[in-house]
């Protein structure tokens, strides 16, 4: 295995060297001995990739988190357990400066909930309340339903929404576009007098599975309860309405907000040998929704970020700069962990060389997305490092990238990057009861660890800081 990998990597190095010579714009500033990054680091990249592929620590870790702790919503005892577990295990790994950093997080509790079609026929609807939603009165809300496919259609309904339950039956285009109905739908409907909102789950694929996720209430609108229903049920209600039938639904939700509670980001390092004050950060979020076991979102992300740093330690490598892994808290409903990290590290943000987030799944890695702020020189360096991952099919550097947890850092000028993985099935299970460990492919997970390890280690070790 290692020999084969060696041959592949040798070929990659030769190809990369040839490429650097043939196209000057691809060339990075000359480093020590005027040798390319790929040439200097091919050996160490091979060691990291090899170690990642033969060691199943990351997948065993994720399996344990999934099966023993399960889902981990902010404010839940499970998230506290996960934080304590991560601290313990990182100490056991021999990582350095293992500690937690306090963050106050919202505490939203789902409670019992249900939705039922009561006219023109009676049948339960499969639903999940949206995170941060308010509840209904104990007897529920029973009202006629207005089905719309877009905000334009909502506006066209105008006054007709008054006293009704608005259902957004928006087909999935992209997550970024379609998620607006989940995030803003309740307040946009409330503005027109609606008493509750239902949202077709934000996914292209459904086996009658509802997808939760957070909503944001506008300050100036009444807070109405909101829930996700399945594509199948949304389409049923749409067909009934299209036939001119009176569609009535009863929605019952006990959801409520409790006072903020204390949580924490988990931090560990391999300290730099020459410039320990300069930092390359890798991370994901330890919290999850309160459904499934949060194995993909974002158990996978924290597993590969953590493993990247552990492998560096285990191989006895010590980069020039500090390699830091951060397991952020509360990404799903508040990003308070991300904000707390930014505040706690305000004085050293200028020393953050790069922040890499993994929060797009851990299927087969395809490379990385580098934030728009990356300079041509930085992009060229990233491309050259990624060329060392060509054997894994992960040598692509996308035009854009980031993540919710590193977004506050990027806003302050820190270079941001995301691990990119095959996303063709990511949203099938996103924020559902089906986000469980069986969806994790162990080999792909190892490959993701390898990619994170190679990129983070080399950026942390380059003689010249990437800017």
Please identify, using beta-carbon distances, which residue of 169 and 295 lies nearer to Zn ion.
295
Q: Which of 46, 63, 113, 331 is catalytic?
A: 331
Q: Which two tokens stand for residue 83?
A: 């934080």
DSSP 8-state assignment for residue 101:
E
**How many other C-beta atoms are found inside a 10 Å radius of the C-beta of residue 78?**
20
Instruction: Determine which residue in the list 297, 384, 418, 461 makes contact with Zn ion, applying CB under 5 A.
Output: 297
Segment lying near Zn ion (by CB under 5 A), choices 207-215, 230-238, 269-277, 355-363:
355-363
Q: How far is the CB of 361 from Zn ion (least distance, A)?
A: 9
> Computed over its alpha carbons, how large is the radius of gyration of the chain?
24
Q: How far is the CB of 213 from Zn ion (least distance, A)?
A: 10
For residue 154, what are the contacts with CB-CB under 8 A and spacing of at least 6?
Answer: 148, 161, 166, 168, 188, 189, 192
Annotation marks residue 331 as catalytic: yes
Cis before 120 (ω within 30): yes
Segment lying near Zn ion (by CB under 5 A), choices 139-147, 158-166, 261-269, 293-301:
293-301
Instruction: Determine which residue in the list 113, 359, 418, 461 makes contact with Zn ion, applying CB under 5 A.
Output: 359
Q: How far is the CB of 338 from Zn ion (least distance, A)?
A: 12
Q: How far is the CB of 324 from Zn ion (least distance, A)?
A: 20
Q: How far is the CB of 230 from Zn ion (least distance, A)?
A: 21
How far apart (Å, rounded) are the C-alpha atoms in residues 133 and 256?
A: 7
For residue 391, what are the contacts with CB-CB under 8 A and spacing of at least 6?
Answer: 5, 8, 9, 12, 49
Cα-Cα-Cα-Cα dihedral sign, residues 218, 172, 257, 266: negative
**Are 322 and 280 a contacting pair, CB within 8 Å?**
yes
Please identify, using beta-carbon distances, which residue of 89 and 298 lies nearer to Zn ion.
298
Please identify, using beta-carbon distances, which residue of 359 and 418 lies nearer to Zn ion.
359
How far apart (Å, rounded) are the C-alpha atoms in residues 466 and 2?
A: 30
**Are 362 and 440 a contacting pair, CB within 8 Å?**
yes
Please identify, using beta-carbon distances, which residue of 210 and 361 lies nearer to Zn ion.
361
Please identify, using beta-carbon distances, which residue of 269 and 297 lies nearer to Zn ion.
297
Segment lying near Zn ion (by CB under 5 A), choices 70-78, 86-94, 145-153, 357-365:
357-365
Beta bridge partners of 229: 127, 200
Please identify, using beta-carbon distances, which residue of 333 and 446 lies nearer to Zn ion.
333
How far apart (Å, rounded) are the C-alpha atoms in residues 97 and 277?
A: 13
CA distances from 437 to 17, 27, 65, 112, 135 (A): 40, 42, 9, 25, 31
Instruction: Determine which residue in the list 46, 89, 290, 298 makes contact with Zn ion, applying CB under 5 A.
Output: 298
Q: How far is the CB of 431 from Zn ion (least distance, A)?
A: 9
- 352-357 vs 275-285, strand pairing mode: parallel
Segment lying near Zn ion (by CB under 5 A), choices 262-270, 271-279, 311-319, 351-359:
351-359
Please identify, using beta-carbon distances, which residue of 121 and 174 lies nearer to Zn ion.
174
Segment lying near Zn ion (by CB under 5 A), choices 66-74, 118-126, 344-352, 354-362:
354-362
Q: How far is the CB of 358 from Zn ion (least distance, A)?
A: 9
Please identify, using beta-carbon distances, which residue of 231 and 362 lies nearer to Zn ion.
362
Q: How far is the CB of 219 from Zn ion (least distance, A)?
A: 26
For residue 223, what are the contacts with CB-CB under 8 A and spacing of at least 6?
Answer: 134, 186, 190, 217
Q: Binding of Zn ion at residue 428 (CB under 5 A)?
A: no
How far apart (Å, rounded) are the C-alpha atoms in residues 11 and 396?
A: 17
Selection from 310, 283, 237, 293 nearest residue 78 by Cα: 293
**How many residues interact with Zn ion (rule CB under 5 A)?**
3
- Interacting residues with Zn ion (CB under 5 A): 297-298, 359
Catalytic (active-site) positions: 331
């Amino acid at each position: 295995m290692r020999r084969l990998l060696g041959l592949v990597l040798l070929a990659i190095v030769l190809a990369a060297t040839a490429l650097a010579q043939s196209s000057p714009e691809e060339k990075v500033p000359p480093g020590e001995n005027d040798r390319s990054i790929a040439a200097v680091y091919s050996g160490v990249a091979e060691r990291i990739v090899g170690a990642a592929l033969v060691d199943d620590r990351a997948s065993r870790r994720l399996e344990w988190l999934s099966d023993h702790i399960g889902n981990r919503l902010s404010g839940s005892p499970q998230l506290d357990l996960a934080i304590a577990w991560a601290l313990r295990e990182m100490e056991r790994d021999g990582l350095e400066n293992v500690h937690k950093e306090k963050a106050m997080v919202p505490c939203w509790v789902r409670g019992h909930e249900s939705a039922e079609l009561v006219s023109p026929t009676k049948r339960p609807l499969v639903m999940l309340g949206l995170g941060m939603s308010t509840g209904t009165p104990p007897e529920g809300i029973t009202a006629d339903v207005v089905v719309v496919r877009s905000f334009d259609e909502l506006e066209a309904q105008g006054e007709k929404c008054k006293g009704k339950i608005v259902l957004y039956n928006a087909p999935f285009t992209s997550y970024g576009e379609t998620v607006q109905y989940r995030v803003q739908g309740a307040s946009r409907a409330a503005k027109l007098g609606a008493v509750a909102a239902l949202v077709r789950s934000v996914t292209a694929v459904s086996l009658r599975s509802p997808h939760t996720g957070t909503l944001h209430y506008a300050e100036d609108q009444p807070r109405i309860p909101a829930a996700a229903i399945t594509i199948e049920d949304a389409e049923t209600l749409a067909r009934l309405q299209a036939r001119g039938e009176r569609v009535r639904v009863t929605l019952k939700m006990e959801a409520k907000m409790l006072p903020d509670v204390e949580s924490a980001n988990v931090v560990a390092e391999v300290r730099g040998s020459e410039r320990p004050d300069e930092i390359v950060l890798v991370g994901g979020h330890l919290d999850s929704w309160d459904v499934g076991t949060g194995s993909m979102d974002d158990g996978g992300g924290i597993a590969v970020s953590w493993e990247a740093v552990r492998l560096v330690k285990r191989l006895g490598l010590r980069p020039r700069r500090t390699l830091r892994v951060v397991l952020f808290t509360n990404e799903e409903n508040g990003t308070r962990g991300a904000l707390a990290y930014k505040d706690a590290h305000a004085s050293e943000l200028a020393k953050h060389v790069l922040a890499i987030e993994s929060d797009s799944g851990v299927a087969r890695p395809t490379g990385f997305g580098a934030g728009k702020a990356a300079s041509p020189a930085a992009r060229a360096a990233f491309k050259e490092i990624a060329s060392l991952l060509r054997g894994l099919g992960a040598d692509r550097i996308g035009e854009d990238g980031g993540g919710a947890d590193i977004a506050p850092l990027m806003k302050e000028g820190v270079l941001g990057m995301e691990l990119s993985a095959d996303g063709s099935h990511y949203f099938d299970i996103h924020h559902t009861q089906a986000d469980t460990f069986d969806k994790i492919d162990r080999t792909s997970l190892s490959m993701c660890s390898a990619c994170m390890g190679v990129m983070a280690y080399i950026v942390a070790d380059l003689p010249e800081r990437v800017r």
